[in-house]
């Protein structure tokens, strides 16, 4: 009872859009597909929907191989970035359209349409045309069409991208709840780590056409298996530092020497240390602290938070701190990170587990 990909891949004109993927998405839950633009989210969704055929491998839904089944014979719904509605139909007719195609009678479909419209707060606009609605209402209409269909699989391809901030927040909150009762498997694509965390459920991270990790959202966030996942799941970007493990400890560029107590037993070799922007502090607050330094390039202030962009050696870092901080460009700052908050990746970019 799930959506499975077996040895799935997709090439277009010799270009790899989806590298060989084995993945099993959990049924009846909210699955987030997280990755930067061009990481293959939409390509993968098109394969899920059957809009494209995979080059190799197969797609299984509820234990059935659905690879060759045309899209109109699968019970699925999709919502896009653009607000896709029938331009010359009223909101009511738009929501009713999937049911009309299923040849339901007027008396059968009316209560279903009205119930969904109620849920999506569209009741007052039933007789309007999509062009007479706000962007948020247009997208609500598109969502209502997906919801009314009672699809087993609902694909949401960055549906909130074209909405303004307020509407996005509002709909983001409602979305998981809307589909929770339907028992449908929902796949939601987004580029924003923040959004994935708010949606909860499960997350699959994508990078360069491959799914790097899949699991409960918070687990993927806290324990990324590799550097690519950690990078995909960090906004502002993950700070990194190249280190070399020697007899004495960890050594970096410019004569940097660090002690990383949780990682004292790793073998000699090349490593990448990752630390998230909100773990990079500009004030020391205790023991077990790594001391770094950097030169301020830009400071961004958003209300009560500051994003301090820094440069050290060849690395660009961001420190995310509370409060309003003003630093002139070029100012040198002492920086602090707790080693227990650090992620260490080996030369294969795989996560090295900390010894607790």
Partner 1 sequence: MINKTINQKAWFMVLPVLALVAFNAIIPLMTVVNYSVQETFGDNLFFWEGLKWFEEVMRSERFHDALGRQLLFTLLILLIEVPLGVGIALTMPRQGIGVTICLVLMALPLLIPWNVVGAMWNIFALPDIGLLGKMLNGVGFDYNFTQNTFWAWATVVAMDVWHWTSLVVLLCYAGLRSIPDAYYQASKIDGATSWQVFRYIQLPKMKRVLTIALLLRLMDSFMIYTEPFVLTGGGPGNSTTFLSIDLVKVALGQFDLGPAAAMSIIYFLVVLLLCWVLYTLMMRNETN
Binding site for partner 1 (CB under 8 A): 46, 49, 51, 71-73, 76-78, 80-82, 84, 86-89, 97-98, 101, 145, 149
Distance CA 271, CA 88 (A): 59
CB of 129 to partner 1, least distance (A): 9
Exposure string over 160-190, b if 16+ CB within 10 A, otherwise e: bbbbeeebbeebbeebbebbeebebbbbbbb
Distance CA 17, CA 42 (A): 10
Which is nearer to partner 1, 73 or 287 (by Cβ)? 73
CB of 48 to partner 1, least distance (A): 11
CB of 204 to partner 1, least distance (A): 21
Which is nearer to partner 1, 149 or 320 (by Cβ)? 149
CB of 36 to partner 1, least distance (A): 21
CB of 71 to partner 1, least distance (A): 5
CB of 354 to partner 1, least distance (A): 45
Distance CA 141, CA 89 (A): 11
Which is nearer to partner 1, 49 or 335 (by Cβ)? 49
Residue 267 per-residue DSSP state: P
Beta strand 343-345 pairing with 269-275: antiparallel
Which is nearer to partner 1, 130 or 252 (by Cβ)? 130
Distance CA 307, CA 178 (A): 34
Exposure string over 270-307, b if 16+ CB within 10 A, otherwise e: ebbbbbbbbbbbbeeeeeeebebebebbebeeeeeebb
Which is nearer to partner 1, 146 or 292 (by Cβ)? 146
Which is nearer to partner 1, 76 or 280 (by Cβ)? 76
């Amino acid at each position: 009872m799930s959506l499975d990909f077996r040895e799935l891949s997709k090439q277009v004109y010799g270009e790899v859009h989806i590298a060989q993927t084995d993945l099993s998405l959990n049924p009846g839950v909210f699955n987030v597909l997280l990755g930067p633009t061009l990481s293959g989210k939409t390509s993968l969704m098109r394969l899920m929907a059957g809009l494209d055929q995979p080059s190799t491998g197969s797609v299984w839904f509820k234990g059935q191989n659905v690879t060759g089944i045309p899209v109109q014979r699968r019970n699925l719904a999709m919502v896009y970035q653009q607000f896709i509605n029938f331009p010359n139909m009223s909101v009511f007719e738009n929501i009713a359209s999937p049911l009309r195609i299923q040849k339901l009678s007027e008396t059968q479909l009316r209560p279903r349409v009205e119930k969904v419209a109620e849920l999506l707060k569209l009741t007052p606009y039933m007789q309007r045309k999509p062009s007479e609605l706000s962007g948020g209402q247009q997208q609500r209409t598109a969502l209502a069409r997906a919801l009314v269909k009672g699809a087993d699989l609902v694909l949401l391809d960055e549906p909130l991208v074209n909405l303004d901030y307020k509407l996005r927040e509002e709909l983001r909150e409602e979305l998981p709840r809307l589909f929770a009762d339907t028992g449908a498997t929902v796949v939601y694509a987004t580029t924003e780590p923040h959004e994935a965390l708010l949606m909860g459920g499960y997350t699959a991270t994508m990078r360069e056409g491959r799914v790097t990790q899949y699991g409960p959202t918070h687990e993927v966030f806290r324990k990324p298996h590799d550097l690519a996942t950690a990078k995909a799941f960090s906004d502002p970007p993950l700070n990194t530092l190249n280190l070399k493990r020697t007899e004495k400890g960890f050594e970096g560029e410019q004569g940097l020497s660090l002690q990383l107590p949780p990682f004292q037993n790793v073998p000699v070799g090349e490593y990448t240390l990752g630390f998230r922007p909100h773990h990079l502090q500009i004030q020391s607050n205790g023991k077990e602290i790594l001391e770094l330094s950097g030169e301020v390039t830009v400071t961004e202030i958003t209300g009560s938070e500051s994003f301090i962009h820094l440069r050290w050696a060849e690395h660009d870092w961001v420190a995310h701190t509370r409060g309003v901080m003003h630093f002139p460009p070029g100012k040198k700052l002492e920086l602090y990170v707790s080693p227990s908050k650090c992620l260490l990746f080996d030369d294969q970019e795989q996560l090295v587990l900390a010894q607790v």
